């Protein structure tokens, strides 16, 4: 018996999420996409948004002719309740990328510098370069964590903003919480610390990790960002938020694009927050998909950087540009190249069918010496 994409979508939205529905996630994700290109390049949730979020967007489509009215306030209050904080500590943005831009504008005046790891999520560095800010990138440690001692050495009184992505993108690696606390305690009083927790939900239980939202420091310099683009599956809707002190929130909001968050995104995000079962299901499925990817890497006698996110940085043993181009010609998109690690490629985890295609195309690469 065959099903149309519409049938699959209707069936999926109507179903109740239990562990028995995990296999249907693959069918749903494939049914959503009519593209022949396999997209493993942007660290998206390949299984899509929560059915509750989809229904919320469908319901509010009739209001698409109206500018936002009370949606921002309602979403802010929902986030505050969810995180057990005050609404005045929440700052909304069109993706966490806009939050980064807002922070840069607020805390990097002329002659101040941005201190960050290298490599890391490059959006804030691009904003800093465009603004003519002083950018100081510090190489990661041999274990792919933030080199906090080296960052501290360059974080003098001229440091306006310190950026920590944890887990880090593109490595997927973790910097231990206890080390971050010591690091923050030694930073100059004038430095603002922005901690990007875009991949928080994928980490799971780890003795080295604790969110700075759920387990905050008593330090008004700290701003923490989250996004609905990753595990919530709403990358195309563009919505993120920051948690900070009320004063920091006011400073960030002064640089916010008016009405930058669209109504559909606000409704979808509010519904997504209510669907904890879906978040847990996606996190569980991601762990399974990631382990299967490791198995395939090991079977080919290669190595990867162990990841606590929904992507893996893999040592190909070949120039990364050559590998990315090979996959592009075979209609598979891979992540951005990492200049500091020129034989690595970042692979976002797709649904099983997509990953089987990835490995089929991989095996078409010319034989080469395996990385040691």
CB 256 within 8 A of CB 102: yes
Question: Residue 312's domain spans which residues?
Answer: 5-50+276-362
- The answer to the question of residue 367 being in a domain is no
Indicate if 138 and 236 belong to the same structural domain. yes
Q: What percent of the chain has pLDDT over 70?
A: 89
Cα(260)–Cα(94) distance, rounded to whole angstroms?
Answer: 6
- The answer to the question of residue 63 being in a domain is yes
Indicate if 204 and 110 belong to the same structural domain. yes
- The answer to the question of residue 81 being in a domain is yes
pLDDT at position 12 over 70: no
Indicate if 270 and 286 belong to the same structural domain. no
For residue 129, what is the domain's CATH number? 3.40.640.10
Residue 132 falls in which region: left (phi positive, over 0), alpha (psi -120 to 50) or beta: left
pLDDT at position 368 over 70: no
- The answer to the question of residue 29 being in a domain is yes
pLDDT at position 29 over 50: yes
Indicate if 216 and 324 belong to the same structural domain. no
Indicate if 138 and 259 belong to the same structural domain. yes
pLDDT in tens, 53-64: 999 999 999 988
Helix 246-253 and helix 96-107, axial crossing angle in degrees, nearest 10: 100
Residue where a domain terminates, one of 274, 304, 321: 274
- The answer to the question of residue 369 being in a domain is no
Indicate if 270 and 289 belong to the same structural domain. no
Of 293, 300, 297, 284, nearest to 350 by C-alpha is: 293
Residue 2 falls in which region: left (phi positive, over 0), alpha (psi -120 to 50) or beta: beta
pLDDT at position 370 over 70: no
187 backbone dihedrals φ, ψ, rounded to 5°: -70, 155
Peptide bond into 119 cis (omega under 30): yes
Of 155, 161, 159, nearest to 127 by C-alpha is: 161
DSSP assignment of 21-69 equals: GHHHHHHHHHHH---SSEEESS---TT-S-HHHHHHHHHHGGGTTS--S
Residue where a domain terminates, one of 225, 241, 274: 274
- The answer to the question of residue 368 being in a domain is no
Of 335, 283, 349, nearest to 121 by C-alpha is: 335
190 backbone dihedrals φ, ψ, rounded to 5°: -85, -10
Confidence (pLDDT) at 119: 96
For residue 348, what is the domain's CATH number? 3.90.1150.10
Confidence (pLDDT) at 162: 98
Mean pLDDT of the chain: 90
Indicate if 311 and 162 belong to the same structural domain. no
pLDDT in tens, 205-227: 889 999 999 999 999 999 999 99
Indicate if 168 and 307 belong to the same structural domain. no
Tell me the mean pLDDT in the region 139-152. Answer: 96
Indicate if 98 and 186 belong to the same structural domain. yes
What is the domain count for the chain? Answer: 2
* Cβ burial, residue 350 (10 Å; 0-12/13-18/19+): buried
- The answer to the question of residue 285 being in a domain is yes
Indicate if 154 and 123 belong to the same structural domain. yes
Residue where a domain terminates, one of 242, 274, 306: 274
Q: Name residues whose C-beta falls within 8 Å of residue 328's C-beta, 6 or more positions apart in sequence.
A: 334
Indicate if 215 and 248 belong to the same structural domain. yes
Task: Tell me which of 313 and 257 has the higher pLDDT.
Answer: 313
Indicate if 236 and 94 belong to the same structural domain. yes
């Amino acid at each position: 018996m065959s099903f149309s994409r519409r049938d699959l979508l209707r069936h999926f939205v109507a179903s109740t999420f239990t562990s028995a529905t995990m296999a249907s996630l693959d069918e749903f994700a494939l049914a959503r996409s009519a593209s022949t290109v396999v997209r493993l390049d942007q660290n998206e949730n390949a299984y899509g948004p929560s059915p509750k979020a989809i229904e919320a967007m469908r319901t509010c489509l009739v209001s698409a002719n109206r500018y936002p009215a009370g949606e921002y306030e309602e979403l802010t209050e929902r986030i505050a309740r969810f995180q057990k904080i005050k609404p005045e500590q929440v700052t909304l943005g069109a993706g966490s990328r806009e939050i980064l831009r807002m922070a840069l504008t607020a805390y990097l005046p002329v002659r101040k510098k941005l201190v960050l790891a290298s490599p890391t999520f490059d959006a804030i560095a691009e904003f800093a370069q465009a603004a003519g800010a002083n950018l100081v990138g510090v190489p990661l440690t041999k274990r792919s964590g933030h080199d906090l001692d080296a960052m501290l050495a360059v974080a003098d009184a001229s440091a306006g903003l310190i950026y920590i992505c944890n887990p880090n993108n593109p490595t997927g690696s973790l910097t231990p919480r206890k080390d971050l606390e010591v690091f923050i305690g030694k930073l100059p009083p004038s430095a603002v610390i922005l901690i990007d927790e875009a991949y928080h939900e994928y980490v799971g239980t780890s003795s080295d990790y604790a969110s700075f939202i759920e387990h905050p420091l008593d330090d008004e310099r700290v701003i923490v960002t989250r996004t609905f683009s990753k595990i919530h599956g709403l990358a195309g809707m563009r919505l993120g938020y920051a948690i900070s002190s009320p004063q920091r929130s006011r400073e960030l909001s002064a640089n916010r694009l008016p009405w930058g968050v669209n109504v559909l995104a606000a409704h979808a995000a509010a519904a997504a927050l209510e669907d904890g079962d879906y978040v847990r299901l996606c996190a569980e499925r991601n762990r399974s998909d990631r382990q299967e990817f490791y198995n395939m890497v090991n079977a080919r006698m290669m190595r990867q950087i162990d990841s606590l996110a929904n992507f893996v940085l893999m040592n190909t043993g070949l120039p990364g540009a050559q590998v990315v181009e090979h996959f592009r010609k075979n209609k598979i998109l891979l992540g951005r190249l990492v200049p500091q690690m020129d034989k690595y490629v970042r692979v976002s985890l797709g649904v099983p069918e997509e990953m089987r295609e990835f490995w089929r195309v991989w095996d078409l690469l010319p034989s080469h010496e395996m990385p040691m």
